[in-house]
Amino acid sequence: MMSDGPSRLLPEHIQESLGFDVPKQEKASMICLFNFEASNIAADTVSSYVFSHSEAQVHTIVDRVVPAWVNESSDVVIMSYSGNSPEIESVYNTASMRGARIHCITSGGKLAELCSGKGHLMLIPKGLNNFEATGYEMGVLVNLYDAMGIEGIKDAMKAAIPGITKYRDEVWGSKKAWRLSLQITDRIPVIYCVGELRAVHKRWKMLINQVLGKLAFSGELPEFDHNEIVSWTEDRNNREFIVLMFRINTDSELLNLIQNTVTELLPEYRLNIKVIDLEGGLMERAIKGIILADAVVDCMKGGE
């Protein structure tokens, strides 16, 4: 029977999947990455590196609509752990009709059937749930991007593994994770972070919604600064919520200023806010935020 919760083995799954062989591909310049179910956690984590370090364009899409620009010079990656998302066949058939190079990351299902006929199929282990599969999806996607000529991405992930493993060992079952779980138990969590940590706020929200069956909301800076800060400071219902603010040191002085201003302003209104600093390289700090979500939700499930 498959577990319905997160896995402690995320670093080990990444390490293992980095050893999966992906043959060299044609050099990519336009990549359309379709990601379904919880696969967008891996998609956003890995693709954030490409956005910052490569001239290749990557568009991450959670939809059945294939952009009009997709053609024979495009690479289409379809990632779904189960391989049975209802959108898959439509996306695959359209991309195939357009002559795109198709790459499929899955454990089986309809996607494996389609891609085994025409496309580059990369299988990851069966028997996991969507959250447990994240590490394997990250590693295989890194290997694929590396095979497509995106330089440095595999080395960056390998460099992150010692840091994320150490962090996992420090937070899993720790007082920090237990305290955070108690802080959010009787409140509605709202998770905020900058765009490059998009996978972090998605992971927290998904786990709280789907595993715990609790409401949770999320958003990104700087849009939060424009659209929501007034309601946090004026709405009398704000005490029912707790803000989890993930903060990093970015390359943008303006964005750093916005992060620091928000984290200093909200406590002045006696709001429930917890600021969590993440350190390390781009992929390392995103994965740390994901690991912390897994550790806290494990505590809330009773450490099963």
pLDDT tens for 153-208 read: 999 999 999 999 999 999 999 999 999 999 999 999 999 998 889 999 999 999 99
Residue-level pLDDT at 268: 72
Give the pLDDT confidence of 23-78 residue by residue, as tens digits.
999 999 999 999 988 999 999 999 999 988 999 999 999 888 999 999 999 999 99
For residue 238, what pLDDT band results from cuts at 50, 70 and 90? confident
Does residue 304 carry a pLDDT above 50? no
The pTM for the full model equals 0.92
Question: Whole-angstrom Cα distance, residue 179 to residue 206?
Answer: 20
DSSP 253: H
- Phi, psi for 264 (deg, rounded to 5): -90, -30
Unique residue bearing structure tokens 């996306």:
91
**Per-residue pLDDT reduced to its tens digit, 221-230:** 876 655 677 7
Checking if the pLDDT of 1 tops 70, the result is no
| Burial degree of 67 (CB within 10 A; 0-12, 13-18, 19+) | middle
- Rounded to the nearest 10 degrees, how much is the dihedral formed by the CA atoms of 170, 162, 45, 134? -70
